[in-house]
């Protein structure tokens, strides 16, 4: 059996176990729905029709939040309940061959992280459209985070600071969940009780809990996103606080040196995903 056939069988098994049996629609559409999901096949067809409809002609229950060559994010309602759909288009042949990197990866990582105790948006549906056996579009439908606010906005208005993200990074570290795009825009907080939810799970990897290299990479990424440089007092205060809350096996001095090197290098997403820092000059720290 070919490698791609094995992966396809694993994908179908994961979808069936996590959501439910496949349902087939017209024009190569296949969907997996969570049991008792308010999402229907008609909702999926409506989302696809929005791709060819002018914004001013869209149904009032549909709002296109983001649209570029590959990705569309749509806010819509089904039975009066708000949802978010993230749809990927496979324009290139090679993207069709690696379609699992997109919506399926978003769904799978989301579900595994949730199983490890991380707060993620609930996923209701996965769908894909095939043409001549190749996936040309795929997507996932998730809950809308009603009552939550992006940490970036809360920081901008002075209601929260960088330090409010530390308990969240600590939980990812303690659960072995390596979310490689750890930035305030992917953290949503409910102000009434400080409950947080992390979004954007397309790129994520999982390791045994308490991986110090993962902690350093997350810290470097977070500081880089917030333009906090190693020469700033805030940089040292924030990193020291993170160290004291997480209590990694390495010393603070070693953690400080590793984060500084990683932040200066602006590591590629593949490096952050695999935790492979060979050749970066931090090998001697461990």
Q: The domain that contains 228 carries what CATH number? A: 1.10.510
Last residue of a domain, one of 143, 177, 194: 143
Distance between CA 29 and CA 21 in Å, rounded?
14
132 plus 255 within the same structural domain: no
Q: CB burial class (10 A; 0-12, 13-18, 19+) of residue 142?
A: buried
Distance CA 205, CA 223 (A): 20
Whether residues 103 and 177 share a domain: the answer is: no
Are 117 and 182 members of one domain? no
- Which residue segment(s) compose the domain that 138 sits in? 3-143
* Residue 156, pLDDT above cutoff 70: yes
> Is 121 found in the same domain as 10?
yes
Degrees, nearest 5: CA angle 68-73-75: 145
pLDDT of res. 256: 94
Q: Which of 143, 168, 203 corresponds to the end of one domain?
A: 143
In this structure, the answer to whether residues 104 and 188 fall within a common structural domain is no
- What does DSSP say about strands 195-198 and 187-190: parallel, antiparallel, or unpaired? antiparallel
Each residue's pLDDT tens digit, 238-274: 999 999 999 999 999 999 999 999 998 888 899 899 9
The answer on 129 and 23 residing in a single domain is yes
Residue 237 shares a structural domain with residue 130: no
CATH number of the domain within which 114 lies: 3.30.200.20
Reported as a single tens digit per residue, the pLDDT across 96-146 is 988 899 999 999 999 999 999 999 999 999 999 998 889 999 999 999 999
279 shares a domain with 181 = yes
pTM: 0.91
Contacts of 143 (CB under 8 A, 6+ apart): 83, 84, 121, 122, 124
Q: Specify the number of domains making up the chain.
A: 2
> Given 96, 128, 143, which residue is the final one in a domain?
143
139 and 34 in a single domain? The answer is yes
Pairing of strands 204-206, 134-143: unpaired
Q: Which of 176, 144, 277 is nearest to 220 (CA)?
A: 277
């Amino acid at each position: 059996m070919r490698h791609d056939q094995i992966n396809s069988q694993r994908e179908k098994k994961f979808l069936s176990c996590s959501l439910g049996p496949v349902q087939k629609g017209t024009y190569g559409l296949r969907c997996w729905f969570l049991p008792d999901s308010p999402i229907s096949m008609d909702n999926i067809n409506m989302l696809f029709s929005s791709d060819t409809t002018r914004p001013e002609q869209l149904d009032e229950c549909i709002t296109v939040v983001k649209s570029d060559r590959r990705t569309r994010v749509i806010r819509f309602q089904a039975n009066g309940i708000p949802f978010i759909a993230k749809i990927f288009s496979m324009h290139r042949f090679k993207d069709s061959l690696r379609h699992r990197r997109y919506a399926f990866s978003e769904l799978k990582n989301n579900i595994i992280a949730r199983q490890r105790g991380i707060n993620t948006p609930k996923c209701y549906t996965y769908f894909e459209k095939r043409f001549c056996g190749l996936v040309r579009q795929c997507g996932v439908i998730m809950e809308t985070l009603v009552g939550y606010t992006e940490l970036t906005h809360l920081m901008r208005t002075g209601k929260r600071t960088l330090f409010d993200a530390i308990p969240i990074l600590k939980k990812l570290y303690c659960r072995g969940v390596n979310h490689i795009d750890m930035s305030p825009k992917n953290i949503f907080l409910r102000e009434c009780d400080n409950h947080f939810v992390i979004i954007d799970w397309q790129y994520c990897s999982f390791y045994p809990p308490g991986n110090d290299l993962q902690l350093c990479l997350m810290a470097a990424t977070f500081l880089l996103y917030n333009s906090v440089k190693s020469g700033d007092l805030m940089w040292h205060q924030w990193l020291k606080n993170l160290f004291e809350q997480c209590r990694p096996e390495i010393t603070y001095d070693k953690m400080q040196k590793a984060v500084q090197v990683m932040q200066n290098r602006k590591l590629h997403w593949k490096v952050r995903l695999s935790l492979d820092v060979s050749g970066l000059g931090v090998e001697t720290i461990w």
